[in-house]
Structure 1
Amino acid sequence: MRTIQKGPAPASLTQHRQQPHADYGNYTDKDDLRQTLVAEQRGLCCYCQSRIRATSEGMKVEHWQCQADHPGRQLDFDNLLGACRGGHGRPEREQHCDTRKGNNALCFSVCDPAHPIERQIRFLGDGTIKADDVDIDEALNAVLNLNLSRLVSNRKAVLAAFQQRLQNGRRFDPARELPKWDGGESGELPEFAQVVVYWLRKKQERAAV
């Protein structure tokens, strides 16, 4: 996960909110919303950082505060995120992200610049994701299921591939590598980018000591 900087809502959503009896169910231009969310998140799921695409088959629109408990926020763009399909249709133990979360509440937001989520979690070398805060760690596992074996394997593989390129003689400069993984360049970010970002920042911290 990485902090998402929310931008302006798409015009179609703003216009829809001004209509009488507007709700998320009768908002017809969800393609516009999906495109805005995918661009804002650089093509990555708001939780696991797998690839999302701006189609109904390629992503879900996540309400951080669920529609059932917070109907007043169902059209609030600051409450809307792009999430992967998260094992939709599979048994609950194989679900993750928004599909697993359902109407459960999260004790953290991925859109809070005052408390960046990337500073509250750790990516271990074996691919697992952890938090020192007990409540956040519980949410990562019980609510979002981000330590599902497939996700752990994917994160481990991304880091291992990056480290292998370095071992093959690639000149290493964390300051030059970080923008490629942390949003300094335009366009999509690599899948599971934050795993490499975390590793690079740790390298910088150790080098500065």
Structure 2
Amino acid sequence: MITKGAEPNSLTQHRAQAHSDYDNYARKDDLRVALVGEQRGLCCYCTGRIRAVSTAMKIEHWQCQATYPRQQLDYGNLLGACLGGEGKSPDEQHCDTRKANCDLKWNPANIAHVIENRVYFTSDGHIRSPDPEFDRQLDEVLNLNIAILRNNRKSILDVIANWWKNTPNARQKVQPKIDHIVSAAEHSQFSPVTVSYLRQKLGGAAR
């Protein structure tokens, strides 16, 4: 889950001006820094690496500007996303690039949506949801199960599964390991996969 922080002062000031919109907001670099910081350097959807420059991330409107123009300057609606295969074929695109103007049922930055309870990861690296509608959106809207993302997640799962198997008294060390990962100023790519696996072990569940 993404915990939203304070919005940049420049966004607050811009929104208070007459005829303000997203396109005429000149200080988007302020947004990039804020979004990457609160997301600990990870894309809001695939949790790959993003950086606070236009060549390494996109500013995503969870509710798109075309359909929800009143939300275009609402900081709670803004997320940091990876480039998502921009310029590649549609089958290779993912995250915001693939999503375009489509709607999503759950917002990873809305605390009420409890996104960590909406998704899980299978041993082969797929991201799935017990909610059929959202499960379809993960596949068709965000395209999060393409081979490159699935393989990246599987690599992470293989590493943490090996740690679990070969660490003496691993269960006693799970919570400190989760705390260490979650508290890091910058998260490792796909670290939510590790945290999800460890939390399943704490709860005695495994998929």
Q: Is the TM value for this pair above 0.5?
A: yes
Q: The residue matched to 2:19 in structure 1 has which SS? A: coil
Pairing of 1:159-198 with structure 2 (within 5 A) = 159-166=157-164, 169=167, 172=170, 173-181=173-181, 183=182, 185-198=183-196
- Residues 162-171 or 139-148, more deviating: 162-171
1:178–1:23 distance in 2 versus 1, CA, 3 Å: same
Distance in 2 (CA, whole Å) between partners of 1:149 and 1:111 is: 26
In 2, are the aligned partners of 1:180 and 1:189 still within 8 Å (CA)? no
- Give the Å deviation of 1:170: 7.1
**CA RMSD of superposed structures (Å):** 1.5
1:125 corresponds in structure 2 to: 123
CA deviation digits over 1:134-179, x for unaligned, max 9?
Answer: 1010110000001011000000011212333455557631011101
Which of residues 53, 65, 77 is equivalent to 1:55? 53
SS at match of 1:81: strand
Q: 1:135 maps to which residue?
A: 133
How many Å apart are 1:99 and its aligned residue? 0.2
Task: Give the alignment's TM-score, normalised by structure 1.
Answer: 0.92
CA offsets 1:33-59 (integer angstroms, 9 cap, x no match): 100000010110000000000000010
Structure 2 length-normalised TM:
0.93
How far the C-alpha of 1:125 sits from its partner, in A, is 0.9
Moved more, 167-176 or 146-155: 167-176
Looking at structure 1, the residues matched to 7 and 39 of structure 2 have their Cα atoms a distance apart, in angstroms, of 13
The residue that corresponds to 2:39 in the other structure is 41
The alignment covers a number of residue pairs equal to 203
Letter in 2 for 1:178: I
Q: Which runs of 5+ in 2 are unaligned?
A: none
Pick the aligned partner of 2:108 from 107, 110, 116: 110
Runs of at least 5 residues in structure 1 that lack an aligned partner in the other structure = none
Aligned residue type for 1:85: L
* 1:32 alignment partner AA: D
